[in-house]
Chains A and B, each alone.
Chain A
Amino acid sequence: MRTAVSEFERGSCQYWMGVRKVLGAKFTLTLVLLLVTVTMMAGTNIIVLDNGASTIKAGLANSDYEHPRIIPNAVVRSKGDKATYIGHEFEQCQDHASLHYRLPFEKGLLVDWDAQKAIWDGLFSNQCLGINTTESSLLITEPYFNLPNMQEVYDQFMFEEYDFESYYRCAPASLIPHGNLFSEPDLPPAECILIVDSGFSYTHVVPLLHGSVVWRAVKRLDVGGKLLTNHLKELVSFRQWNMMDETYIMNDVKESCCYVSVDFRQDLEACRVNLQSNSIVREYILPDLTKDRRGRLRRAGETLAEIDQVLLMNNERFTVPEIVFRPDDIGLEQPGLAAVIAISISFLPQDLQGMFWSNISLIGGNTKFPGFRQRLIDDLRSLAPVEYDVSIVDCVEPITEAYRSAFAFATKSDGQLFKAVAVTREEYAESGSNASLRKFATSDWQAGGIDHSTSEAIQARPEEDRTPQLKKLSRTRSKTVPSTSTSRRR
């Protein structure tokens, strides 16, 4: 990229030498200055990294990466291939039987740094993104309510290992206001947004007011894609084939067959009529692992080869995603997603609650089940006060929504917006993790302890006098929240 710009610069300089005689020196000088600024800005790449528990969505904040590279966030060992695949290498995997997964995330938090480092190393390497981290900046997503001690490790990795010029870390939903999910032409951005982020580990309900997360109203449902796949695995293994070791295959079965029922009673009855042929049942042809053939759904009227093994998907198709709406079906003592949303909204200012009911959107791969949105609307309608509208803004690509919002944020006004919030290498060298504690305070959950009126006042301030405000904020913070230094002493 750098060479391209400098060539362009050289070429245009020669061109302008010729024209200078006509236009005069003053104009050329302005142009040269302009070119210099262009080169300086092109020097820093911003890497956008949505670090999910199941997949990493990553790219550079330039026009080539409006759609991210998506790689599994796992170190996978294949028995058949006798090989270990780290993150992006997984696409080379040929044998998908009995894969062993080593996942950096556990229950929504990053616990295995060894695996995560290997995957990140591969991602930044020439085999994948091919970037020099010492000349780049980073925007990375972290888990909701990431632990303070973990945040420190994030900081250490970004500056001590990868040596980024600057970096910004925040929860995925906090980036959504920068994307175009809620933006409408000729209208100011929505003030009240409620994001349902249903991912691999958990489902979070995250309300945002004036573009920042209202942490005290964020609620979690302990159901995610991992639990659903495991539950399906268990059902199928008990009823038909033993699939307990086939996470990869069962995840594909889940993604291709499962749906959310809008009428659970009726569908459950329909399944009882005839176990082989009813309106619900589908046949999934299991992959032939001797011939490297992928599993797929059997099309209507398709003849089966003799060796094909078929998995019948009957009520498993909808009882599995049903857990998001009725966690008690597997004995998890939590209310369904709609009720969790209602609980979250009850923590918000009374006069704004109506706005939240009507500005809901769904992100995360788990929301891709057909019927998810309709079912949620139905369930919400029965819980919402009659005077409020319930509406869910449609998200076309829920998996990459957070990435694309982050991308928009990083590219907005030439990266100035990003620059204003990011911690620089120098700041880290001077005060360590305290630098990011101070700088990320406005978006971090630990700021949730501050009286809400103060944080709103900060939001309302114009952009330019934000820095002194931030300092003031951190002072308030240290009074209400035990700072890291005090916790260390304990």
Chain B
Amino acid sequence: MVKKTRERHARKAAALPGLDPEIIAKRKKRHLDELERSNYSEPTLLNTEGDGEPDGTTKGRARQTISDKRDFERPGRKKKSTMNIRTAVLYRKNLSTLIEESHIAEYPSSVPTYLTAVSPPPRYPPRLLCSICGYWGQYKCKRCDMPFCDRSCEEVHNETRCERRVM
């Protein structure tokens, strides 16, 4: 009898493919990227009306920039910007392109760079807090690995946040 139960437990554990650490890592990364955003919702065409399209292009006209639109009075201001300035203003590059173009990844290891200055991973294991109420998260969701603290938070978790797909 006891043996049977044990076997059943073992089978159950095998059936759980183990929560794929890769998926969990991906979720964490996505969450951290979200925390870097300047705006939660990107502007729709409706609320930028009369402002040109959000990417700075307007149909039928040359690209317009915000720095051109507002003409600030400045003593000793020049009329026309140089080629370098126009390029910098008009063609925005994203961060990864800029880092790639800076070639800092190819610097010898003796030179510290933006890429190497980041602090190394911690030596202690992560502390788990309840993803619902913020108290210590002693238990983890069997399906999606998110920590919670008690039955009531578990219920809230199951109803709202649980990502069933990590099964």
Q: Please report which residues of chain B, range 115-167, place their CB below 8 angstroms from some CB of chain A when the two chains form the complex.
A: 117-124, 126-127, 129, 132-136, 160
Complex Cα distance, B34 from A271, in Å, reads 28
* Contacting pair A111 B98 (CB below 8 A): yes
Choice from B32, B34, B89, B134 contacting A114 with Cβ under 8 Å: B89
The main secondary structure of chain B at its interface with chain A is: loop
Q: Mark B66-98, 1 if CB is under 8 A from A, else 0.
A: 110110111110100110110011101111001
Q: Taking A114-B66, A122-B70 as contacts, is the C-beta distance between A107 and B38 under 8 angstroms?
A: no
* Contacting pair A135 B121 (CB below 8 A): no
* Contacting pair A153 B88 (CB below 8 A): yes
Residue A340 interfacial (CB < 8 Å): yes
Choice from A145, A163, A226 contacting B36 with Cβ under 8 Å: A226
Residue A127 interfacial (CB < 8 Å): yes
Q: Taking A79-B47, A124-B74, A221-B119 as contacts, is the C-beta distance between A112 and B92 under 8 angstroms?
A: yes
Choice from A328, A449, A487 contacting B108 with Cβ under 8 Å: A449
Complex Cα distance, B104 from A215, in Å, reads 15
* Contacting pair B114 A147 (CB below 8 A): yes
Range class of the B interface residue count? 35 or more
Residues of B within 8 Å of A490, CB to CB, are 103, 106
Residue A309 interfacial (CB < 8 Å): no
Residues of B within 8 Å of A160, CB to CB, are 81-82, 84-85
Complex Cα distance, B7 from A58, in Å, reads 71
Residue A102 interfacial (CB < 8 Å): yes
- List the one stretch of A12-20, A329-337, A459-467 in contact with chain B: A329-337
Q: Taking A149-B101, A230-B34 as contacts, is the C-beta distance between A448 and B111 under 8 angstroms?
A: yes
Q: Please report which residues of chain A, range 268-306, place their CB below 8 angstroms from some CB of chain B when the two chains form the complex.
A: 268, 271-272
* Contacting pair A334 B119 (CB below 8 A): yes
Chain B: residues with CB nearer than 8 A to chain A?
28, 31-32, 34-41, 43, 47-48, 51, 56, 65-67, 69-70, 72-76, 78, 81-82, 84-85, 88-90, 92-95, 98-99, 101-104, 106-108, 110-114, 117-124, 126-127, 129, 132-136, 160
Chain A: residues with CB nearer than 8 A to chain B?
75, 77, 79, 84, 86, 100-103, 106-107, 109, 111-115, 117-118, 121-122, 124-127, 130-135, 144-150, 153, 156-157, 160-161, 163, 204, 215-216, 218-222, 226-227, 230-231, 233-235, 238-239, 244-245, 247, 268, 271-272, 315-316, 319, 326-336, 339-340, 343, 445-446, 448-449, 480-482, 487, 490
